[in-house]
């Protein structure tokens, strides 16, 4: 059986399409936080608490090599959706927390900008 992850925890590029499809199914509708860190943009939080719709790899066409992150769901103001494109991705790495729990994904684009898709834990009120 071929390993999905390279030695540093990175997902091998020839497995991105399959890995991202499985990741999207496993984590659909989980609340997220989307952050971008890079030399041209600094550190920015683009979105908080939108549920994951999916993450797709574009192997062909004008956006070949890019990864599309789609978030969206209903809010008090109606449906909201956000799409973010990691242009010409160089690396994809799972983000894991304590006990090797999947906390999200990290992406690095061709220009060195890093995008972090992190799962948020929504707190609930304690029972009365």
Predicted model pTM: 0.84
As a whole-number percent, the residues of the chain with pLDDT over 70 amount to 89
Look over the chain and give the mean of its residue pLDDT values, rounded to a whole number. 87
Q: How confident is the model at residue 41 (pLDDT cuts 50, 70, 90)?
A: confident
Query: Residue 9: what pLDDT?
Result: 84
Q: How many beta carbons lie within 10 A of that of residue 126, not counting itself?
A: 5
Element housing 122 (H / E): none
Query: Residue 100: what pLDDT?
Result: 63
Assign 28 to helix, strand or coil.
Answer: coil
Say yes or no to pLDDT of 109 above 90: yes
> 119 with 104: CB under 8 angstroms?
yes
């Amino acid at each position: 059986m071929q390993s999905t992850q390279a030695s540093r925890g990175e997902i091998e590029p020839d497995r991105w399409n399959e890995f991202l499809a499985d990741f999207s199914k496993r984590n659909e509708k989980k609340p997220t936080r989307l952050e971008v860190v890079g030399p041209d943009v600094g550190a920015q939080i683009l979105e908080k608490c939108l549920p994951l719709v999916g993450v797709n790899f574009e192997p062909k066409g004008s956006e070949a090599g890019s990864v599309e992150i789609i978030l969206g769901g209903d809010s008090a103001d109606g449906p909201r959706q956000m799409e973010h494109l990691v242009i010409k991705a160089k690396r994809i790495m799972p983000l894991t927390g304590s006990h090797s729990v999947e906390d999200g994904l990290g992406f690095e684009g061709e220009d060195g900008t890093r995008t972090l898709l992190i799962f948020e834990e929504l707190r609930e009120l304690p029972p009365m």
